[in-house]
Structure 1
């Protein structure tokens, strides 16, 4: 059995996910997120730190999309998955990965690190949205 991965879809998912993160953590929730993280809104971040952060985010987004593509491709070998259709497959993959891996991590960080529940919902919401969007890209672009 061979896992067929579409590298173009993975790369597009990386770029789309980068922009989702930018929109989520800048105009949508940037001020609230920064305040909940304890950042001073009057201080501009060092440009070198910003560039380094963006580079590592792109690298992380690549691994995120690449591993998710493997996961989705592996599910194609499960009997009955083909009948689900690509949207159901994408939403199921995204939701169950989020519920099993992201949600517990965000929940634990919120409680153990005494972070705010606003921060929990911002970060957990981003994780779920990015999983859904990237899953939809990967399941529809064969």
Structure 2
């Protein structure tokens, strides 16, 4: 892992803010607030701290996606890091798999015990599927 493109990792982590702005704003913002019981005023409190921490956490996630999509898998002698695998689509596929098989079970399990609605679960899981796909695509294509 000596040739990590740190700029790609940072851009991918920052992409979560753009996607989140759209996802929890014009696309599903009102539905999400209704499902959580949060008012618009409550949602605005502490935003700078939330944004900062969320980017740091996104960086951890994108680093894991980077390892999964670029450095793991493939046939012996044919690792993912080869040029034929370094496409946006390949990285996006890995991002979706991580979201479906790691993130979704964790989020849905928590939401079940919190007695949240199916709509709430789908809004949040959908965000992470799209976000991980884009992060995976960015780091895989920009390697």
Please give the range of the TM-score, normalised by the shorter of the 2 chains: 0.7 to 0.9
**Aligned-partner Cα distance in 1 for 2:10–2:86:** 23
- 1:57 and 2:57 equivalent? no
Which residue does the alignment assign to 1:73? 70
Which residue does the alignment assign to 2:122? 121
Q: CA deviation at 1:39?
A: 1.3
RMSD: 2.1
Q: CA deviation at 1:50?
A: 1.4
Change (3 A) 1:84 1:65: closer
TM-score (normalizing by structure 1): 0.84
**Aligned-partner Cα distance in 2 for 1:18–1:46:** 15
Contact 1:18–1:61 (8 Å) recurs in 2: no
Which residue does the alignment assign to 1:112? 113
Contact 2:91–2:133 (8 Å) recurs in 1: yes
Q: CA deviation at 1:119?
A: 0.6
TM-score (normalizing by structure 2): 0.83
Which residue does the alignment assign to 1:130? 131
Q: Name the count of aligned residue pairs.
A: 138
